[in-house]
Amino acid sequence: MTNAQLKEELVAYSKSIGIDKIGFASADPFLTLKERLKTQQQLGYQSGFEEPDIDKRTEPERLLPYAKTIISIALAYPAKLENPPKGVKGKRRGIFCRASWGEDYHIVLNDRLQKLEAFIHERVPSAKMASMVDTGALSDRAVAERAGIGWSGKNCAIITPEFGSYVYLGDMITTIAFEPDTPIDDQCGTCNKCVDACPTGALIQGGQLDSNKCIAFLTQTKEMIPERYRKKIGNRLYGCDTCQVVCPENKGKGEEYQPEFTPDPEKVKPELLPLLSISNREFKEKYGKMAGSWRGKKPIQRNAVMALGHFREKGAVPKLQSLLTHDPRPVIRGSAAWSLGEIGESDGNHAALQAANEQEDDASVRGEIRQALMKLEKEVEHS
Ligand code: SF4
């Protein structure tokens, strides 16, 4: 069997196992990306979640000796919730971004890549392969761009003509030399909607992202969210979709997708208050299979605490006061202080904050409490 025949068979097989798009790229080093990553590192734009070794990220042969081709796969995910539950006063809700809907994409894409590997291995037993999804060293986007899956939009996502940017990407490096596919021309043109709409100005002209400003990244950190971004995060519990939602290339997309990604509306748009009391076991049972739970329950709870402050949800005051005083995690106490300050004087918030200040031994939480107290006092002055 020639490599051209194998490629044809692989493409047909990929469709039969639920891969929406497949492309082939040479495994040559990614020289332009290397320069861009170096600049990003110098400018401090990186999130810290990525592989720190830039050579590994840009030279496929470092990951698989004698690498010849990288196969890029894309699986489509949904963009709309059927009958989304409505958040109302007393029962406010948070939201997980679309990339966390349904089953964790790492598991689903790894399954598809393993099937592809087995298919190749049966036909070419001597072939070597290395597959990766998201956490691998390679840049999924750079590979997908070179393999003709889509172009790299100004929103830093790969945009496919068929599914917009609502696709997950995975890669397989192989020692088989397949004919590469042709990249798709950049079609962003003069559009700048995502750059203009980004709530924190994280998208920088030229398709770069300052991760430290990106809400998707901020929602995954475990520390206090910097004050200037808290209101902008709103009720997001994990991730942010703004730059995808405003993209004209995504209009009408996200209706065809792999069944594993079908969202449970109650899970992806959950009530906020119950999240604050959820046990570790319940959290694992309910959210453990979602991509958005990978950092554990603390960031989700911190975001839920802040979302209640964003809604100025008075019904949450008793719970927030209790967290402020009793929660063992400083980030939760500090976020509760901020939210109580946002909600304003209600149910003895001022007294509760003062009492908490006296017993608090964490300096950063005391700082949050003092800020909240000042806010309440200013409100009283102006009322
Ligand atoms: Fe490109 Fe416009 Fe979409 Fe941004 S919103 S990715 S500029 S098409």
Question: Whose Cα sits closest to atom 4 in ligand 1?
Answer: 194
In this model, does residue 99 exceed pLDDT 80?
Answer: yes
* In the chain, % of residues over pLDDT 70: 99
In this model, does residue 79 exceed pLDDT 90?
Answer: yes
Pairwise pLDDT comparison (117 vs 293), residue with the higher score: 117
* In the chain, % of residues over pLDDT 90: 85
Residue 380: the pLDDT is 78
Pocket test for ligand 1, best of 249, 250, 251, 253 (most atoms within 8 A of CB): 249
Relative to beta strand 208-209, strand 203-204 is antiparallel
Query: Where do the structural domains in the chain lie, given as residue ranges?
Result: 3-83+101-174, 193-381
Q: What is the overall mean pLDDT for the chain?
A: 94
In this model, does residue 205 exceed pLDDT 80?
Answer: no
Q: Does the C-beta of 64 come closer than 6 Å to ligand 1?
A: no
Q: Which residue has the tokens 């969210």?
A: 225
In this model, does residue 36 exceed pLDDT 90?
Answer: no
In this model, does residue 48 exceed pLDDT 80?
Answer: no
Q: Which residue has the tokens 């005051």?
A: 317
Question: Whose Cα sits closest to atom 8 in ligand 1?
Answer: 188
pLDDT in tens, 108-151: 999 999 999 999 999 999 999 999 998 778 999 999 999 999 99
Taking the C-alpha atoms of residue 247 and residue 68, their distance in angstroms, rounded to an integer, is 35
Question: Would you call 134 a catalytic residue per the annotation?
Answer: yes
Q: Does the C-beta of 245 come closer than 6 Å to ligand 1?
A: no
Residue 203: the pLDDT is 95
What would the mean pLDDT of 276-287 be, rounded to a whole number? 95
Task: Catalytic residue, from 111, 134, 347, 362: name it.
Answer: 134
Residue 56: the pLDDT is 86
Helices (H) and strands (E) in the chain, counts: 17, 10
Q: Does the C-beta of 193 come closer than 6 Å to ligand 1?
A: yes
Residue 155 CA: nearest ligand 1 atom is 6
ipTM for this model: 0.98
Residue 248: the pLDDT is 98
DSSP codes of every residue in 65-128: TT--EEEEEEEE-----SSPPPPBTTB-B-EE-GGGSSS-HHHHHHHHHHHHHHHHHHH-TT--
Residue 133: the pLDDT is 93
Backbone angles phi, psi at 4, to 5 degrees: -65, -40
Q: Does the C-beta of 197 come closer than 6 Å to ligand 1?
A: no
Residue 347: the pLDDT is 82
What would the mean pLDDT of 211-219 be, rounded to a whole number? 94
